[in-house]
Amino acid sequence: MAEYNDTVLFEPAEEGGFAVTCPALRGLVTEGNTLEEARIMARDAIRGYIEILHKDHLPVPADTTVKVEIRVLVPQPA
């Protein structure tokens, strides 16, 4: 089994929780009520996205790397 790790962006959502995107996997968006839940959802979404690429015989994007970088974007107080 191959291992894929991606840069994932966590942004606070206006309604609460976190919105999650992955720049390397266009269109991948998920969310979670807490940061930990958002991380779990991101892992599941990335896994599902890559499984679909494999099923459809499509390449995994080249900027999908083997190192993890997680950035959490938090608004700064005014």
Query: 62 φ, ψ to 5°?
Result: -60, -30
pTM of the model: 0.73
- pLDDT value at position 66? 37
User: Domains of the chain: which residue ranges?
Assistant: 7-67
Selecting from 3.10.129.10, 3.30.950.10, 2.40.110.20, 3.30.160.250, what CATH number does the domain 7-67 have?
Answer: 3.30.160.250
Q: What is the pLDDT along the chain (78 residues), one digit of tens a residue?
A: 566 667 888 999 989 999 999 888 889 999 999 999 998 999 889 888 888 888 999 888 765 543 445 555 555 555
pLDDT, position 68: 42
Please give the torsion angle defined by the CA atoms of residues 71, 1, 51 and 13, in that order, rounded to the nearest 10 degrees: -20
